[in-house]
Each structure stands twice: as structure tokens, then as C-alpha cells.
């Protein structure tokens, strides 16, 4: 079998815009799931609402497309009702960190055996480009026409602090690293969180001088800074540019977890 055997082809064509990064994240996740040797009958994909949250609909397993911001609450119920199931949540930055912020914190704190994959496109994509907690300072959105004046929210740092057992961030450019990170998250008992920075040419790129898909990919590539390099720069007193974001593995630990089969 290959990762393509997990696709629900009768749902095609998909709704994603040409050049959207979400497909890459779905492929990487399914590749990791396939590497785990999981069975379709034992695996459930769950999401909230948003472009990214449409992902489970294209996968052949049982899935739940739930309410905006509530994917982790539904996933918790599924996992605790049947801990034998492998539960993977797809979410977006708005779904996870705005309306779903409290569920995110407490899923990390409870350290439930779920893997959350967030497609962070730095914007509300599905509803036409409102600013999200992850819209970078100065970026243009429909709700920040003069530039985002609030500081960007670091989803991975929150997950580390709140108690997730595995946290990593990559981008849709870093396909190999992203796949390995999802695999590590699936293997780690407890809550694992993988943040994937993705291009959204439609709602984010065209308002922020990144109109071409290649421009957005170049943005992701050139603004990603390996965590070890960032730490070295900080130790040596070098200034880390404010628009760079760290990528890599942020934590891998073994805090007591819930929903893990003994």
C-alpha cells in the first residue's frame, strides 16, 4: 500500500485552490500514517471548520467534521470512548488558536493520546481572509487593512508550555522533515502537535505581495530558521529578525498521558 490508498477518490475534485499548501500536509500525514502500518478501520481523522478542516473528508477512514474550534473536544471523546483507535486531528490556525484556543490548551495539559496537525496559513482562509492570531505583525488581511498590529501567536510554544509530549514545526516546503515529524508525533504516546506553515495564495498571498505560489514557498523557505541555529544566534547575542519563525523539533518527552493503551 502507499499513502495514496488512504484517499477517498470519489470525493474529488477537492475544494482547495490551485497552489494551496494543505494538500502537501495531507500527503505528508498520510505517508506517516502508512509508515506506521495502521489499519484504516482503527484510524479516525477529525477536524473542525475551515479549508484545512476539509481534509478528513478526502480520507477513506471514518472521520468527524465537527464544529468550528471543537475538533479536539470531539477527538477527546472518541479517544476516551475507544482508546484502541488512532486519532488524528486536522485543524487551522483560526480553528485551533482563536475559537478553539481553550480546547487546545487543555488537550496539551491533559496530554491525551491524539496527534494534532495544524495547517497554519496565517489567515482565515475559508471565510475570505480575516486576520487570525497567527497573522504576522504588519500583514494585510480583510480585518487588518492597515497591517496587523497585534503580535503573532506562537502555537508550538504554547503546546510545549501547556504540556504536549511531542511538538514540532515545519512548512509545506520541508516535505521530508514534516513527514518525519508527523511520524514521530504518531509514535509518541500522549498529545503530539505538529504545526505546518502553509501557503494560502488566495486569502493571504494576494494581499501581501506574495501573489504567486512560488513567492509564498520562497517566503516559507527563507523565513524558517532551524531552532538550533536560532538558539545559537541568541546565545551569541545576534539579533534574530522578528519576521523569522523557528522550525524543528521543540520537545519530545514522556509526561503521563491519558488514553494510552497499557
Ligand X SMILES: Cc1ncc(C[n+]2csc(CCOP(=O)(O)OP(=O)(O)O)c2C)c(N)n1
Only segment of 101-109, 132-140, 200-208, 223-231 that touches ligand SF4 (CB under 6 A): 200-208
Identify which of residues 29 and 43 has a Cβ nearer to ligand SF4 in the complex. 29
Handedness of CA 163, 132, 30, 173 (dihedral sign): negative
Of the candidates 56, 94, 125, 190, which one interacts with ligand SF4 according to CB under 6 A?
125
Residue 127 interacts, among ligand X, ligand SF4, none and using kind-specific CB cut-offs from 5 to 8 Å, with: ligand X
Kindly provide the residue ranges of all beta strands, DSSP E only, lying in the chain, ordered along the sequence.
Answer: 43-47, 62-65, 86-92, 115-120, 166-171, 192-197, 224-226, 245-252
Rounded distance, CA 131 to CA 139, Å? 9
Identify which of residues 127 and 161 has a Cβ nearer to ligand X in the complex. 127
In sequence order, which residues have a C-beta less than 8 Å from that of residue 95 and are 6 or more positions away?
47, 48, 49, 50, 52, 53, 68, 69, 71
Only segment of 144-152, 156-164, 187-195, 198-206 that touches ligand SF4 (CB under 6 A): 198-206
Q: Is 44 in the site for ligand SF4 (CB under 6 A)?
A: no
Smallest distance, ligand SF4 to C-beta of residue 127, A: 9
Which residues from 14-43 bind ligand SF4, rule CB under 6 A? 16-17, 20, 22
Q: Is 127 in the site for ligand X (CB under 6 A)?
A: yes
Identify which of residues 127 and 258 has a Cβ nearer to ligand X in the complex. 127
Which among 181, 13, 16, 195 has a CA at the least distance from the CA of 90? 195
Neighbouring CB atoms inside 10 A of 231's CB total 14
Rounded distance, CA 90 to CA 115, Å? 9
Smallest distance, ligand X to C-beta of residue 54, A: 8
Which among 180, 123, 125 has a CA at the least distance from the CA of 153? 123
Three-state secondary-structure class, residue 155:
helix
Identify which of residues 78 and 98 has a Cβ nearer to ligand SF4 in the complex. 98
Q: Is 249 in the site for ligand X (CB under 6 A)?
A: no
Please give the grid coordinates belonging to residue 124: 482565515
Q: Is 139 in the site for ligand SF4 (CB under 6 A)?
A: no
Q: Is 56 in the site for ligand X (CB under 6 A)?
A: no
Inter-residue contact 124 to 100 (CB < 8 Å): no
Q: Is 116 in the site for ligand SF4 (CB under 6 A)?
A: no
Smallest distance, ligand SF4 to C-beta of residue 57, A: 13
Inter-residue contact 143 to 135 (CB < 8 Å): no
Q: Is 48 in the site for ligand SF4 (CB under 6 A)?
A: no
Q: Is 95 in the site for ligand X (CB under 6 A)?
A: yes
Smallest distance, ligand X to C-beta of residue 205, A: 12
Chain contacts with ligand X (rule: CB under 6 A): 49-52, 68, 92-95, 119, 121, 123-127, 132
Amino acid at each position: 500500500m502507499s499513502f495514496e490508498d488512504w484517499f477517498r477518490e470519489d470525493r474529488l475534485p477537492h475544494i482547495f485552490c490551485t497552489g494551496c499548501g494543505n494538500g502537501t500536509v495531507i500527503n505528508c500525514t498520510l505517508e506517516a500514517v502508512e509508515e506506521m502500518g495502521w489499519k484504516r478501520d482503527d484510524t479516525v481523522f477529525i477536524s473542525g471548520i475551515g479549508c484545512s478542516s476539509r481534509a478528513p473528508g478526502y480520507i477513506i477512514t471514518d472521520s468527524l467534521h465537527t464544529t468550528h474550534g471543537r475538533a479536539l473536544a470531539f477527538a477527546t471523546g472518541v479517544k476516551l470512548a475507544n482508546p484502541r483507535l488512532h486519532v488524528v486531528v486536522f485543524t487551522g490556525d483560526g480553528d485551533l488558536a482563536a475559537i478553539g484556543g481553550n480546547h487546545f490548551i487543555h488537550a496539551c495539559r491533559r496530554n491525551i493520546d491524539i496527534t494534532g496537525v495544524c495547517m497554519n496559513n496565517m489567515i482565515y482562509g475559508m471565510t475570505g481572509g480575516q486576520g487570525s492570531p497567527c497573522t504576522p505583525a504588519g500583514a494585510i488581511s480583510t480585518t487588518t487593512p492597515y497591517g496587523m498590529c497585534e503580535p503573532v501567536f506562537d502555537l508550538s510554544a504554547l503546546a510545549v508550555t501547556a504540556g504536549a509530549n511531542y511538538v514540532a514545526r515545519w512548512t509545506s516546503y520541508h516535505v521530508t522533515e514534516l513527514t518525519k515529524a508527523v511520524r514521530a508525533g504518531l509514535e509518541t504516546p500522549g498529545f503530539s502537535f505538529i504545526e505546518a506553515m502553509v501557503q494560502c495564495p488566495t486569502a493571504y498571498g494576494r494581499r501581501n505581495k506574495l501573489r504567486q505560489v512560488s513567492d509564498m514557498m520562497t517566503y516559507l523557505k527563507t523565513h524558517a530558521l532551524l531552532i538550533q541555529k536560532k538558539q545559537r544566534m541568541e546565545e551569541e547575542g545576534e539579533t534574530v529578525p522578528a519576521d523569522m519563525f523557528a522550525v524543528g523539533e521543540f520537545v519530545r518527552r514522556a509526561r503521563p498521558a491519558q488514553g494510552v493503551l497499557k
